[in-house]
Amino acid sequence: MMCIYEYGNLQADIVLIQPVGDHDLAGLEAEVAEIQRLANKEFRLLAVKVDDWNQDLSPWPAPAVFGNEDFGNGARETLTEILELCKDEDKVYCLGGYSLAALFSLWAAYQTDRFAGIAAASPSIWFPGFVDYMKSHAIRCSNIYLSLGDKEEKTRNAVMSQVGDCIRDGYAWLKEHGIYCTLEWNKGGHFKEPELRTARAFARLLK
């Protein structure tokens, strides 16, 4: 079972769920404070810690794009565990995250209609085959937030340099199909202020 960290008002009607790795834990309190500042609404945040980032959040296997760790196909199992946290019919659930957790959240919007909104901050939408997947399946959430750093596509990595084209393409497709979708550009590369970018993503859904 995954380890869960809870923040915010535990009785709140709005529940934000975010898959996180060890690298996210230090920024969570700043993220929660920023969501509170921007949205001015009561919410509960469940940070769900995954054990193996590349395995647990990947929708299907893909070769490594940096280092030598390939991507697995553990997303379905992870989503099954997360949906166990979403059983209260009186609550509103939103799913989101950063990087591969944001890609996972987007993918989850195609698997279930449980989430009222998806907060995908700097998603790994360069993931092989993902935009094609978006176009060939029906999305089941009508409120999607996307963001990207304006320097993220300026990388020498051939796969990751496609991220800008991929997000523009995916965004245009969602808009064309009547999905309420925002695309926000942030200053900087992929590793700049991930907790604040994630906070902005969740706060936009809360508004």
pLDDT in tens, 138-164: 999 999 999 999 998 998 888 888 999
Q: Which of 128, 110, 146 is nearest to 65 (CA)?
A: 128
Q: What kind and span of H or E run contains 33?
A: helix 28-39
Q: State the number of CA atoms in the 13 A half-sphere of 9 facing the CB.
A: 11
CA dist 4 and 161 (Å) reads 33
The token duo for 3 is 């380890």
Residue 183 has φ and ψ, to the nearest 5°, of -125, 115
- The pLDDT assigned to 1 comes to 65
CA dist 29 and 45 (Å) reads 10
Does residue 194 come out as left (phi exceeding 0), alpha (psi in the -120 to 50 range) or beta? alpha
Name the average pLDDT for the chain. Answer: 95
Give the confidence band of 65 by pLDDT, cuts at 50, 70, 90: confident
Mean pLDDT confidence for 66-83: 92
